[in-house]
Amino acid sequence: MRVMVVGLGSMGMGAALSLVRAGHEVFGVDPRCEARAELRYAGARETGPRGLDFACRVEAVLILTVNAEQVESVLFGEAGIAGKLPAGTPVMISSTVSADDARRFGTDLEQAGHMMLDAPVSGGPAKAREGAMTVMAAGSEAAFDRLAPVLEAIAERVFRISDRIGDGAAVKVIHQLLAGVHIAAGAEAMALASRAGIPLETMYEVVTNAAGNSWMFENRMRHVVDGDYTPRSTVDIFVKDLGLVTDAGRALGFPLPLTSTAYTMFASASMAGYGRWDDSAVIKMFPGITLPGKNPEE
């Protein structure tokens, strides 16, 4: 298929590379020259800063931007692609957005003559580059069928949540509750270990071989032990995502005490200047501890 991938960040780049390997003609869209150059070198058909330049030539669109505002701009902004895509083009929105935003995009795309798959993803940059992401998708049978070659190229597992746009986004938001809380809890544990004088490498080895381990602890606290805060997923991403979780709980009248605490931790780390660091840098909000490593820009 001729597939436009919009957003060549850690997940979008992995998806685009997986599509290239699978033999698809990939059109990559990102404002960053270095990201476009990497994808061109890997074999993309074309790349550019605007999807509008390719919109009339593609058979499917995969959007992996940071937030709903960027999705809105890509589809319906001044240089939006919705009005230029061939009629009936399937659009797979894999950005983490609220269920309400997903439903709004679905309605607007339908009015523009296109179909949407509400399909957030998970797995991290390494899984994305392996074509082994997890997709939690909702949409019509027709959308699933049309996007089957894309899903096959980028995903190890595809969960078909329902036919209702918004349900995929809701599942992802709930998943992010767990992801954010696990990172925050891991950071708190490692901060306490530092304060107690326990070597962080020792603490990490014990936890990853005991019942307190989680995938997020094992992955993110390795960054803390190594003192490597090169951003894979940033602190500010979790400020945004846990904000979506909080909004969902508020809309449903449902208390989320752990989410609220985790959100405060990430927001505090962001305000302290760590917003664009790896999300494991939430540990930096704890005063009076000594940690390995240095600024990612150094």
Decide if 172 is catalytic.
yes
Q: Which H or E run contains 203?
A: helix 200-207
* Location of structure tokens 């939430």: 282
Show contacts of 261-267: CB within 8 Å, 24+ apart. Answer: 261/184, 262/180, 262/181, 262/183, 262/184, 262/185, 262/238, 263/180, 263/239, 265/184, 265/187, 265/188, 266/180, 266/184, 266/235, 266/238, 266/239, 266/242, 267/239
Contact 36, 57 (CB under 8 A): no
**Share of the chain residues as helix, strand and coil, in percent rounded to the nearest 5:** 55, 15, 30
H-run or E-run covering 91: strand 90-93
Residue entry with tokens 């752990």: 258
Task: Say how far apart CA 204 and CA 224 lie, in whole Å.
Answer: 10
Residue 114 CA to chain centroid, in angstroms? 24
Residues in the chain: 298
Contact 12, 96 (CB under 8 A): no
The CA distance from 224 to 216, in Å, is 12
- Taking the C-alpha atoms of residue 60 and residue 39, their distance in angstroms, rounded to an integer, is 18
Rounded Cα–Cα distance for residues 282 and 268 (Å)? 8
Catalytic position from the list 172, 240, 284, 294 = 172
The catalytic site residues sit at 172
